[in-house]
Structure 1
Amino acid sequence: MGHRKKHAPKRGSLAFSPRKRAKSLVPTIKTWPRIASDRPVLLGFAGYKAGMTGLLYIENDEHSIHYRKEVYASATVVEIPDLFAVGLVGYHPSADGNSLVALRTALAKDLPDELNRRIINVSNAGAEKNLKMLEESLERLRAIRVLFATQPRLAGISKKTPDVFEVEVGGEVPVERRFEYAVSILGKKISITDVFQPGDVLDISAVTKGKGFQGPVKRWGIKILPRKSRKTKRKPGALGPWKPSATMYTIPSAGQMGFHRRTVYGVKVLDIKKPEQEAPVVSLHRYGVLKDTYVILKGSIPGPVKRLVRMRHTVRPPMRALDPPQIVYVQGGI
């Protein structure tokens, strides 16, 4: 840092303040993209992070210096069992028009038994009545979202309790067609191949690894003071001016590090596979055996293994679309 004059008191960004623990292990998606589709489509999906590996692929980007060459890249494996559509929610604009408010939730007639592990005494009584009321209020609705439950018992992890979340139905179609599509999949299982294909670009949301209570050096990347500093070296050089006589929130301080909700933009889907019966067993460190459909994503994503990962169509689409690259080799026989 001696080669530049600009001061750099810390390495963290105040845009992520306050750095506190996430409210839930199921990350909330606050923005849904607009998809240029002439039919209703689901805008997101979810799975469980299985681990990382490496692979060789043929670069198919003509603007890359590695065009038509073998390139090594790190990749993340996410196991994605089918999702079960347990209900749908209709949203209408609020009184001030700045947000969406849930009007009514209609559950499916047949609900999975494991759902009682997540929602105690869940009941679908009045499902047809709620569905009819939503249909009568379509002119008020702005968004239709499907309530999904995961099926972790089908994955390679020792978990039975499903995770429940909402996925919006998109497409450049009227709300009536989106509602009809949501009703058609109610009580059915949806596969990852019904939503995403190899070559798609996604945004990944998850809760990061928890680090606990950490000091300002590790949490903010501040400089360690010289050896003869008074009392301690792993502290900020100054806590601010005399006036105002209070420690400002911009001062790097100790506190919670990790276990934050984070989103990674522009993650490319390299391949979507399903374990073959005759093939050798595919196992990942600290995860287990891959039993169901899994997706290979380019690069890294937030969170430890076995954690829920939510994905959506990217809100920042690339300027030029590329076909999925040809994968030559994947480490671990995946």
Structure 2
Amino acid sequence: MSFKAGMTHIVRDVDKPGSKLHKKEVVEPVTILEAPPMVVVGFVGYVETPRGLRALTSVWAGHLSEECKRRFYKSFHSSKQKAFTKYQKRWSEAGKASEAPMAAEIERAKKYCQVIRAICHTQVGKVKLGQKKAHIKEIQVNGGSTEKKVDFITGLFEQEVKIADLFSQDEMIDIIGTTKGHGFEGVVTRWGVTRLARKSHRGLRKVGCIGSWHPARVQFQVPRSGQNGYHHRTEINKKIYRIGKAIKDDPNNASTEADLTDKAITPMGGFSHYGQVTQDFVMLKGCVMGPRKRIITLRKSLLPQVSRTAVEKIELKFIDTSSKFGHGRFQTSEEKAKFFGGSVAKKAKTAEKAAEAEAEK
């Protein structure tokens, strides 16, 4: 799961033999999604029944963070905050794994369950969005026997799982999220109905005829006013252009082989209405549903990808980091300081001269 930060653009060479754009530069829009590591805190075991999957048992880790517990409360501050306290006490009193309070449930899941899903939560504290409640998600584990799946998940209890462990560059993935909400809208905005003539009776932005006398009802095909936006959507085949590391691990995570400038993925002044991207991030081609700060779920593609677009290798030449508030001219603050002069420019020039002198030595 990731958070939408904003958009920028990149420059790259197209690698499509036979195309008119082969080996030529193109400018493409990309979306930056900040994806801090998720934490595995449990799993759910499902059994297959004639009426579909039914949950048989759930097993939770011995320690849960406060941001995870907050999701179980409507008002965490005014509550007694006793969720999982007895459960965690039993975990702490158990000396061995075989004596753990849920050892019997783990064996039960291995014996009867066909589907195993890991319970993971986001670390919203690492993303400076003012949120305190973690987003909890079930992620299905595929491959191998049920026993291997359970052992795999229990081995990851209370550990972080990074975005780079699940996805790779040039991979085609699916994204799931909620679109921007626009509230109650009329038929012209909602469905693109043509406006009526200027002298039309009782309004212009409406449907001229909503149907015949019989059948004596309005059919579902007729455009009507109502809620527009804030819809759950799944978009398939979004290509990953880059998976970047956090600032602490890679301060220059926006540099390329053709652009060796020391710069991070965050544009000058930060992403509008979002701020700084300090954690791991994923760069997707094109746009992503929803406004900034909205949670976006990333999913492995369900279909084998064999198209030319899917197998094309992406090598970025330039990533734009100019200000997204207005018409940005500069890629870094040092570049801006050199242009306008002042004390900052003098410091930058002095540092450059010192670096050149060391290189000569």
What is the Cα deviation at residue 323 of structure 1?
5.3
DSSP 3-state at the match of 1:159: coil
Separation in 2 of the partners of 1:140 and 1:95?
15
Separation in 1 of the partners of 2:184 and 2:48?
40
Per the alignment, residue 217 of structure 1 pairs with 188
Separation in 1 of the partners of 2:222 and 2:147?
52
Can you give the 5+ residue segments of structure 2 that lack an aligned partner in the other structure?
74-81, 92-99, 253-261, 322-330, 333-361
What is the Cα deviation at residue 76 of structure 1?
0.4
Per the alignment, residue 114 of structure 1 pairs with 67
DSSP 3-state at the match of 2:239: strand
1:302 to 2:273 alignment: no
Per the alignment, residue 166 of structure 1 pairs with 138
Alignment of 1:256-295 (within 5 A): 256-274=227-245, 275=247, 276-277=250-251, 279-280=262-263, 282=266, 283-295=270-282
Can you give the 5+ residue segments of structure 1 that lack an aligned partner in the other structure?
1-45
Separation in 2 of the partners of 1:71 and 1:80?
27
DSSP 3-state at the match of 1:206: strand
Separation in 2 of the partners of 1:199 and 1:116?
36
Counterpart selection for 2:125 from 148, 153, 165: 153
Contact 2:305 2:311 in 1 (8 A): no
Post-superposition CA distance 1:264-303 (Å, at most 9, x none): 1000111011223475562211110111111100111111
TM, length-normalised to structure 1? 0.80
Per the alignment, residue 338 of structure 2 pairs with none
Per the alignment, residue 140 of structure 1 pairs with 112
Post-superposition CA distance 1:277-333 (Å, at most 9, x none): 475562211110111111100111111100100011112332245254100111116
Separation in 2 of the partners of 1:287 and 1:217?
32
Alignment of 1:193-208 (within 5 A): 193-208=164-179
Aligned letter for 2:279? D
Per the alignment, residue 84 of structure 2 pairs with 123
Q: Aligned in 2, Cα 1:324/1:111: closer, same or farther, shift over 3 Å?
A: farther
Contact 2:67 2:124 in 1 (8 A): no
Q: Higher strand proportion, which one?
A: 1
Among the aligned pairs, what percent are the same residue?
29
TM, length-normalised to structure 2? 0.74
Contact 2:179 2:233 in 1 (8 A): yes
Q: Aligned in 2, Cα 1:165/1:231: closer, same or farther, shift over 3 Å?
A: same
Aligned letter for 2:59? A
Per the alignment, residue 17 of structure 2 pairs with 62
Number of residue pairs matched?
Answer: 286
What is the Cα deviation at residue 248 of structure 1?
2.2
Q: Which has the higher contact order (CA 8 A, sep 6+)?
A: 1
Alignment of 1:9-88 (within 5 A): 46-62=1-17, 64-88=19-43
Per the alignment, residue 246 of structure 1 pairs with 217
DSSP 3-state at the match of 1:247: coil
Per the alignment, residue 301 of structure 2 pairs with 314
Q: Higher helix proportion, which one?
A: 2
What is the Cα deviation at residue 63 of structure 1?
5.5
What is the Cα deviation at residue 193 of structure 1?
0.8
Q: Aligned in 2, Cα 1:64/1:182: closer, same or farther, shift over 3 Å?
A: farther
1:331 to 2:320 alignment: yes
DSSP 3-state at the match of 1:284: coil
Which is further off, 113-122 or 131-140? Answer: 131-140
